[in-house]
Structure 1
Amino acid sequence: MAPLGTALAVCTALLLAQPAHGELARPTRVRFAAETAHHLLRWEPGHNPPSNILYEVEHKVYGTNQSWTAIPNCMRISGHACDLTYYTLDPALRYYARVRAVSGNHTSPWQRTNSFSPQEASLRLSGQSLSVMGNTIHVQLQLLLRTGNLTVKYDDIQKHARRYRVYVRRVQDNQTYEVMETAPEFNISNLFWDTEYCISVEPTVASRRTGTTRTDEQCVTISQRDRSAELVLSTVSSSFVTLLLLGLLAALLVCTYIKRPMRPPSVLKSFIKQSSLWVEQESSPLSSPDADPIQQLFLCQKEPRQVSVPTTDVRAADAVQTFHNRHQQQPDVRHPAVGRTELPLWLASLGGSEGIS
């Protein structure tokens, strides 16, 4: 009895699944086949569709009370796909879509998709731009995605945990290695000179597993190494180091010369010695007690005196004092009439007409 009951249940289910007479079968495998900024709704025809069958598509926002909205470009179409990118771009929302078949006055029941978010779409990039600097390749990813009249930024949809798997293929031996980057602009350094490389990039999201599409390969060639530039750089560096060392040596010599005690040159020493002898010869007659007072007076006038402002009175007083001191050692010569020492006329004119008693 049990096998018989099971068979009857299966037959009943099959009969219910078959459309009634004059009713169209609903589409099957209705789903979103979406890439970043390209959300395509796809489906398959139902069982035994008529030759003139058409399809209608509607959509709505998940979790709201809004009614289903028809897609103007996807009403009574013969194809099995509808582009819903324009209606399902907000990454903060989730969406539903549904499809039904139409043939004349007959329509099939609606077939709905599961909820869909733009962040669940397969990841893709527009491409990359490459430039060569020495043996380094600079890569700049193209994050702008264009679909019809729409322009969408990749990082506006995938806002967190973005990563980029970079495939670097060396054409010479077809060897490929991978580099993981987190920024949309980066460098691939220390490559072989005179070698061709091909670059492609695959975007990923660290927080979840999502389908991804690798960009088309783009190839560039690292040219031969420029030895002349290195030679110029080496020469300039050597010259700079040499000048620096010479400057340090000169500074050290100057410091050493300043710190050691200064000695006058031999020529200056001989000149100073001759000057000292001349001063002694000039001063010896002045110190002799037998010298003429008048001559000593002239010699005293020749000697430099450290007087800030010399005057005639000071000079006269000095001359009179010298004359008086010299004549104290000699017999007094007094005038027979006056009985006092007479000064010479030129000395009297300097110091006055008064005598010294």
Structure 2
Amino acid sequence: MTPKHSFLGFLISFFLMGVAETHPAQESLKPQRVHFQSRNFHNTLHWQPGRARASNSSVYFVQYKLYGQGQWKNKEDCWGIQEFFCDLTNETSDVQEAYYGRVKTALAGIHSGWTTTQRFTPWWETKIDPPVMNVTQVNGSLFVILHAPNIQYRNQKGNNVSMENYYELVYRVFIINNSLKKEQKVYEGAHRNVEIEALTPHTGYCVVAEIYRPMLDRRSQRSEERCVEIP
């Protein structure tokens, strides 16, 4: 083999070794479990580091796009960050639309590939807070006043709309007899003021409530219990 051919073979081998070493590094840096978390229409992208050990020198880059669009957009506030989350509430403000987010990692001059979320639709996936509840005891009855969480979303016209009007919320109220350790649903409907009657004297009761969204068949977490003693 001539020296020229020998040197050419060395260059090819060196290049192939470099590619082989870089590709596993890119894969090991690729972010994992990239997903949206949504609460009260506050939409945040979350992820975990790749299989490679997390480093303080690792930085992350975030992009997003509307479903059906071909071009991704950079999230400038989350470009080269070290956190494992990025707030995309403003970029996903039309709650009836569907979105994607994606993240990549850079470390020591090596960039991973992108990891993309599943399709995300805020109105379907957002979790809502439970109602705030006040309970008072009058003449052996309990009066429950419910307050929906003050949540608004932006409609297609750019106006802020109350979540309560959009979802047609249903309230569910449950009462727990502390002596019998028994729970009973005493109300389900759209009214915020509920009276609970026919309670046993000299008995302690706890009341708890939740919000139900019929169109999605989903419910909120339960409120804090409010406990009273019937004289």
TM-score by length of 1: 0.48
Partner of 1:181: 188
Partner of 1:144: 150
Tell me the secondary structure at the aligned position of residue 51 of structure 2: coil
Q: Distance in 1 between matches of 2:74 and 2:112?
A: 18
Q: CA deviation at 1:153?
A: 4.0
The aligned length equals 199
**Aligned residues of 2:40 and 2:128 also touching (Cα < 8 A):** yes
Q: CA deviation at 1:192?
A: 3.0
**Aligned residues of 1:60 and 1:69 also touching (Cα < 8 A):** no
Tell me the secondary structure at the aligned position of residue 172 of structure 2: strand
Q: Kindly provide the amino acid, as one letter, of the partner of residue 178 in structure 1.
A: K
Partner of 1:20: 23
Structure 1 spans left out of the alignment, 5+ residues: 1-17, 225-357
Distance 1:172 1:86, change over 3 A: farther
Structure 2 spans left out of the alignment, 5+ residues: 1-20, 153-159
**Aligned residues of 2:41 and 2:95 also touching (Cα < 8 A):** no
Higher-RCO chain (CA-CA 8 Å, sequence separation at least 6): 2
Distance 1:219 1:85, change over 3 A: farther
Distance 1:169 1:77, change over 3 A: farther
Equivalent of residue 214 in structure 1, options 200, 204, 222 = 222
Equivalent of residue 154 in structure 1, options 153, 163, 176 = 163
Partner of 1:33: 37
Q: CA deviation at 1:185?
A: 0.3
Distance 1:19 1:125, change over 3 A: farther
Tell me the secondary structure at the aligned position of residue 208 of structure 1: coil
Equivalent of residue 169 in structure 1, options 173, 176, 179 = 176
Q: Does 1:125 align with 2:130?
A: yes
TM-score by length of 2: 0.71
Q: Does 1:53 align with 2:61?
A: no
Q: CA deviation at 1:20?
A: 0.9
Structure 1 residue runs of 4+, over 6 Å off? none
Aligned-residue CA RMSD in angstroms? Answer: 3.0
Higher gyration radius (CA): 1
Q: Which protein has the bigger helix share? A: 1
**Identity percentage over the alignment?**
26
Tell me the secondary structure at the aligned position of residue 32 of structure 1: strand
**Aligned residues of 2:26 and 2:113 also touching (Cα < 8 A):** no
Q: CA deviation at 1:101?
A: 1.0
Q: Distance in 2 between matches of 1:174 and 1:92?
A: 42
Partner of 2:46: 42
Q: Kindly provide the amino acid, as one letter, of the partner of residue 145 in structure 2.
A: V
Q: Distance in 1 between matches of 2:185 and 2:145?
A: 14
CA deviation profile, 1:272-302 (whole Å, cap 9, x unmatched): xxxxxxxxxxxxxxxxxxxxxxxxxxxxxxx
Structure 1 segment 1-357 matched on structure 2, within 5 A: 20=23, 23=26, 25-51=29-55, 52-64=57-69, 67-72=72-77, 74-119=78-123, 120-134=125-139, 135-145=141-151, 153-156=162-165, 158-160=166-168, 162-190=169-197, 191-210=199-218, 212-222=220-230, 224=231
Q: Kindly provide the amino acid, as one letter, of the partner of residue 163 in structure 2.
A: Y
